[in-house]
Chains A and B, each alone.
Chain A
Amino acid sequence: MELLKTILHQKHCDLGAKMAPFAGFDMPIQYTSVKDESLAVRNSSGVFDVSHMGEFLVKGADAVKFVDFIVTNDFLNAGNLKAVYSPLCREDGTVIDDLIAYKLKEDEVLICVNASNIEKDWNWIFSKTEGFDITLENQSDKTSLLALQGPDSEKILKELGLIPREDFTYYSVGFSKFEDSEVLIARTGYTGEDGFEIFCPNESITVLWDKLLDLGVTPCGLASRDVLRLEVCYPLYGHELNDELTPLDANLKWTVKESKPKFIGKEKLSGHSSKYRLAKLSLDKGIPREGYSVLNLDGKTIGYITSGTHSVVLGKGICLAHIERDAWPESKEFSIEIRNRVFPATYHTKPFVTGGHK
């Protein structure tokens, strides 16, 4: 199958990016160095082309009620022009995807989903619309998305006149005018730093990209995005979350609002005990990688790594691991097996890096 291309594909190639297939798209993995790109986001600003992600628009009198019904988190009581992160679950509690829902108006909601799950999500969501006064539109093909991330993001967006309003706090969303297009700005992201995601019609995205680069923003690829999200312990679908597990297996209990009167998966998830707990582990020597075994003090395998990398900020190996709940060691002593050798790991109660998001 031929790979899909975002509107900015040629820009990435012109910049000399290393390109690779991701979720059916030919995407930039890195431009110069994963290290430099990660540090740009932590220390100043970086921009990611994440136009491969999916956008569904829900419109109609029941839009908010419908989205609240299909997600596990509380969307009903979210403020107007606010965003909510949530898993999307089946009746049996397993996770179809994780998403961000943006309350644009009382009767209009935008849902942003993972690129790899667009079709699966669409089919699922569409199959649940009966009885709700809504229309559903897949806008993925005509919408481009940039994530501007890092402590300088606000200053840069101000310079472009794109901050929608005063008091535009974390997880706020609003509209701005760019060129001749209406763009949707959200103070969200996947790096733990302050930053914005800019949903832009395809026609204007190239100009926006060029302007950001002219202002000194570093273009960043998906490899640095993975390091950044893992440093702040954000889950990634296909790793910490998948079709077989529930949000509770990824320490996402805070996104499952059992007190909501009705939502898909409520019966199964209420009072449910997960199969796994997610552990944050680091290594002083060696790099933990997805699939490596996690052992207890007796050398017994009690789990496996779901995502692992080298933390640019800490300068050492970090990972998230699914640990069997029944085998969770009270001593919190874990080790990791790498190429038949066993290395003691450090257990972390907090994310490896504290991002500066507001």
Chain B
Amino acid sequence: MSHNIPENLKYTKEHEWTLIEGDTVTIGITDFAQSSLGDIVFVELPEEGASLEINSAFGVVESIKSVSDLYSPLSGEVLQANGDLEGAPEMLNTDPYQNWIVKIRMTNTEELDQLMTPSAYLEHCNSLN
């Protein structure tokens, strides 16, 4: 299985990607995640303004067969949730990096150390195959 792992992003063990721009962090699921899940048919998003703690569940992605929690890669406050996904969850399958899930304002920059580089994430994915 080959993985599309863009170089400009940071990753988590739970197969989420993060794009860090100042204190704004855009979060989505990786190509590995969407491919493992299969046909994604439902996304449950957090409320805007909700405060998230690192590693806490903030939403749900469901494929036909499975229910998976989304875990927050960082602590912060939800600035925006991608409401387009509610009507078209399959967009996470077609382009998981274009179709982000939430944007948050991070509140603890020290947590950034816990994110994985693209090469560390690639290694993580390979260890699962």
Contacts and interface: CB of A to CB of B under 8 A. Distances in A.
Nearest 4 CB-CB pairs, A to B? A310-B41, A34-B64, A35-B39, A310-B64
Interface in A172-228: 223, 227
Given A287-B62, A310-B62, A33 B67 contact: no
A312 B67 CA distance: 17
A309 interface: yes
Interface residue tally on B, bucketed by range: 10 to 19
Contacts of A227: 64
A287 B42 CA distance: 7
A30 interface: yes
Contacts of A104: none
A339 interface: yes
Contacts of A310: 41-42, 62, 64
Nearest to B41: A310
Interface string A289-329: 10000000000000000000110100001000000000000
Interface string B43-79: 0100000000000000010111101000000000000
12 contacts: A30-B38, A33-B38, A34-B39, A34-B64, A34-B65, A35-B39, A35-B64, A287-B42, A309-B65, A310-B42, A312-B64, A339-B60
A33 B39 contact: yes
Contacts of A286: 42, 44
Contacts of A29: 65
A134 B42 CA distance: 53
A287 B63 CA distance: 9
A209 to B, nearest CB: 23
A289 B64 contact: no
A339 B44 CA distance: 11
Contacts of A18: 38
Contacts of A33: 38-39
Nearest to A289: B67
A34 B38 contact: yes
Nearest to B90: A35
> What secondary structure prevails in chain B residues at the interface with A?
strand
A152 B70 CA distance: 41
Interface of B: 38-39, 41-42, 44, 60, 62-65, 67
B35 to A, nearest CB: 10
Interface in A211-263: 223, 227
Given A18-B38, A34-B65, 5 more contacts: A30-B38, A34-B64, A309-B64, A339-B44, A339-B60
Contacts of B44: 286, 339
A286 B39 CA distance: 15
A312 B65 CA distance: 12
Nearest to B89: A310
A276 to B, nearest CB: 24
A34 B39 CA distance: 7
Contacts of B63: 34
Contacts of B41: 287, 310
Contacts of A289: 67
Interface in A35-74: 35
A35 B65 CA distance: 11
A35 B60 CA distance: 20
A310 B64 CA distance: 6
B36 to A, nearest CB: 9
B78 to A, nearest CB: 17
Contacts of A317: 42
A34 B63 CA distance: 9
A286 B59 CA distance: 13
B82 to A, nearest CB: 16
Nearest to B1: A16
A227 B38 CA distance: 14
A219 to B, nearest CB: 15
Nearest to B35: A18
A309 B41 CA distance: 10
A33 B39 CA distance: 6
A18 B65 CA distance: 12
A19 B38 CA distance: 13
B64 to A, nearest CB: 4
Interface string A1-36: 000000000000000001000000000011001110
